[in-house]
Amino acid sequence: MGEHRSGTTLLYQLLTNSGAFNPLTLHHILRFDQLEEDFRQGRQEAARAETNALLQRRGIHDRMMDSVKVNADMPEEYGFLLLKKAGYLKLRPQSLAAFQEMCRCVQAVSPPGKPLLLKNPWDYIRFAIVKQLVPDARFVFIHRDPLATISSQLRGFRSSLETVNPYAEVLSKVLGRLQNNWLARKVLSWSASPYSGHLTLRMMVSQSRKSREYYRTHVGQLPPDCWTTIEYEELCRQPEAVLSRLLQFLGVPEAYDPALAKQISPRNPTPLPEVVRFAKSLVNTTAIPSHG
């Protein structure tokens, strides 16, 4: 659980690479309706090869906005599957049935005996609701310096408007239609420019404030044994120590490959000048409740 661009992807990948969990992957999202039939017919490897072939045909090698490599087994956010199956990016009562079916299906076609590992930044500001809907859920919260987080969000937003991203088209029809809408792209580009008074940036700053305030208000309401926190910066500096602590908390066997540390490429930590101007108040609110 964490804000967009706070390090959730890196954490998800590192925990997945420990081999202790069953993640939701891009292949699961793209081929969800055929997963169990592929499993029964023993053609899972062939199906994954088809997904990789699709990505290759579309010229998709990374997510473009952050250079994260893309293949069939890449862990991905469950919000995109909920959007596809229930019309919502977030877990809510109306999408709970789709969420439960997703969990059941992924576990049915994955190695037995491993817990399901999921992420969806859209639900970070709603984790108390997620806990009500999924009582057995356990949370790993990741936090990053807010100025760096917002700067990364703004860089990613601007990058997404520079060119059509074929990965977004494959991942979600909604995203595909949006980025191929000339007028929508013009409006979004304007909103991210100084001519709009930095409208998009102001919205990102406001959302960050709300997210951090929500966390402060609600995290203490969670049972103490169901959540823990880490810092993105610490994860980049000491990945082995941080992951060891997390795996102990989650009660799974420790299996950390030191070579994984070489895959860690911290995002640009330098805040954008406009972010510093509009988000100064966040500097004084970086101390948030930690646990574990």
User: Does position 255 have pLDDT exceeding 50, yes or no?
Assistant: yes
Question: How many angstroms separate the most distant Cα atoms in the chain?
Answer: 58
Contact partners, residue 253, CB within 8 Å, separation at least 6: 20, 247
Per-residue model confidence (pLDDT) at position 286: 47
Q: Which CATH class is domain 8-285?
A: alpha beta
* Distance from C-alpha of 60 to C-alpha of 54, rounded to nearest angstrom: 9
286 CB neighbour count, 10 Å cutoff: 13
* Distance from C-alpha of 248 to C-alpha of 244, rounded to nearest angstrom: 6
Per-residue model confidence (pLDDT) at position 72: 95
How sure is the predictor about 265, in pLDDT bands with cuts at 50, 70 and 90?
A: low
Indicate the helix (H) or strand (E) that contains 22: strand 22-23
Contact in structure between 233 and 145 (CB atoms under 8 Å): yes
What tens digit of pLDDT does each residue of 73-129 get? 999 999 999 999 999 999 999 999 999 999 999 999 999 999 999 999 999 999 999
* Distance from C-alpha of 36 to C-alpha of 44, rounded to nearest angstrom: 9
Contact partners, residue 66, CB within 8 Å, separation at least 6: 9, 156, 267
**Alpha-carbon 68 to chain mean position:** 12
* Distance from C-alpha of 52 to C-alpha of 65, rounded to nearest angstrom: 20
* Distance from C-alpha of 285 to C-alpha of 20, rounded to nearest angstrom: 35
Output the pTM of the full model.
0.90
Indicate the helix (H) or strand (E) that contains 231: strand 227-231
Length of the chain in terms of residues written: 292
Indicate the helix (H) or strand (E) that contains 179: helix 173-179
Q: Where in the chain are the domains?
A: 8-285
Token representation of residue 86: 């229930």
Token representation of residue 27: 């292949």
Token representation of residue 208: 């960050």
User: Does position 15 have pLDDT exceeding 60, yes or no?
Assistant: yes
Contact in structure between 106 and 89 (CB atoms under 8 Å): no
Look up residue 107 and give its amino acid.
Q
Token representation of residue 222: 């969670």
Question: Poorest-confidence range of 149-163, 183-197, 220-234, 245-259?
Answer: 245-259
Per-residue model confidence (pLDDT) at position 66: 76
* Distance from C-alpha of 240 to C-alpha of 251, rounded to nearest angstrom: 16
Burial class (CB in 10 A: 0-12, 13-18, 19+), 204: buried
User: Does position 285 have pLDDT exceeding 60, yes or no?
Assistant: no
Contact in structure between 236 and 260 (CB atoms under 8 Å): no
Per-residue model confidence (pLDDT) at position 279: 75
Q: CA angle at residue 95 from 99 to 47, to 5 degrees?
A: 40
